[in-house]
Amino acid sequence: MKQPESGNISLVAMAGVGLAIVLCLGVARVGAAAALKARADTAADAAALAGADSLAIGRSRADATRAARAAAADNGARLVSCSCAGESVEVEVAIGRARAHARAEVDARNEARGMRIGRG
């Protein structure tokens, strides 16, 4: 008489559940990292545009840097660097381990115009 083999099925099912849990955790981590990067991109765009806007209305580079820092903070980020050269502002911000770069320029009509640079 043969012994029932239902115990083997339980082990395979448990392994499948364990694998599913590990995969779900991995997907959640990747999703959280993507969301953090998107927040950093938004903060960098806002900071660069705030700095360029400050330059467009005739304020100093120091004022532009303060405006960029404030815009980054309003978006939950920390301003890592800000370079104001002529009529352009280039910033790098960080939120946690996510970093983002953006640049904005003042156009001929003295309006701030932004663009994202890099993916770092």
Tell me what percent of the residues of the chain surpass a pLDDT of 90.
57
pLDDT of residue 95: 96
* DSSP secondary structure of 26-49: HHHHHHHHHHHHHHHHHHHHHHHH
Distance (Å) of CA 102 to CA 4, 9, 26, 31, 61: 65, 55, 29, 22, 17
Strands 98-106 and 112-116: antiparallel
**Considering only 9-13, 81-85, 96-100, 115-119, which range has the smallest mean pLDDT?**
115-119
110's enclosing H/E stretch is none
Tell me what percent of the residues of the chain surpass a pLDDT of 70.
83
Comparing CA positions, the residue from 70, 115, 106 lying closest to residue 88 is 106
pLDDT tens by residue, 46-79: 999 999 999 988 899 999 999 999 999 999 999 9
pLDDT of residue 117: 58
pLDDT of residue 120: 47
Domain ranges (residues) in the chain: 6-116
